[in-house]
Structure 1
Amino acid sequence: MSYFVTNYHQQQKSLFHSNSDWVVAMLRLESISEHATITETTDDCVTFLTDPQAPKPNKLYKLQIYKDMLRLSSDKEGHMPLLLNQNYLRLQVQDQVLRITSIDQFGRKWEYYVDFQSASSKASSDDLR
């Protein structure tokens, strides 16, 4: 019996944690950043503006690293945590493409890319597929 109890305590974090947190966070970010344009970047923050035809037009958002959290905030409201308890977070931007790199508390490395190109350029590239 003590073996099962010890094993349970060792595996407790992984039993109740799934990678769906990452998927949900990135889907939230993707829905907000669709057809947006990056306006400013720093080592720990990316600021972007939504398209005039977006559900929330011309809204300014900040995606930023704060302590062990990746959070999204707007210019008029609070913040929405996307990822919590991360051991490592990094934001890199090149040619309107954001790369988010994260290493979670279990040592798993995640990378995600968000394309901030304009709506017309996204439509033309989708038409070619």
Structure 2
Amino acid sequence: MANKVALKKRAARIRRQIKAVAGDRPRLSVHRSSKNIYAQIIDDANGHTLAAASTLEGDLKGSLKTGADTAAAAAVGKLVAERAAQAGVTRVVFDRGAYIFHGRVKALADAAREGGLSF
């Protein structure tokens, strides 16, 4: 129980810091589960999702061995960067939530940077 409280406090702290420095940039939010990884680009000023990608999508799901490894995270990062470019977004702030910037979260971030997003 205490672990869930600590995770929520950490996520809130990170999100508060991100919103303080974001300015007018949208937020690239990452959610990692035990079986999948999800990414959204969110415009907090208007409350809209501009682009999203996850390992549950049909085109990714068939080509990946599993949705819970760094290769899957890199594929999601690349896909969300392509969709962001189509939406006209090039600069974002990275919201890792309560997750440490390591492993799958880092792979997603690196692939998004290679795909054209800057953060």
Same fold (TM over 0.5): no
Length-normalised TM-score, structure 2: 0.22
Structure with a larger share of its residues in strand = 1
Structure with a larger share of its residues in helix = 2
Length-normalised TM-score, structure 1: 0.21
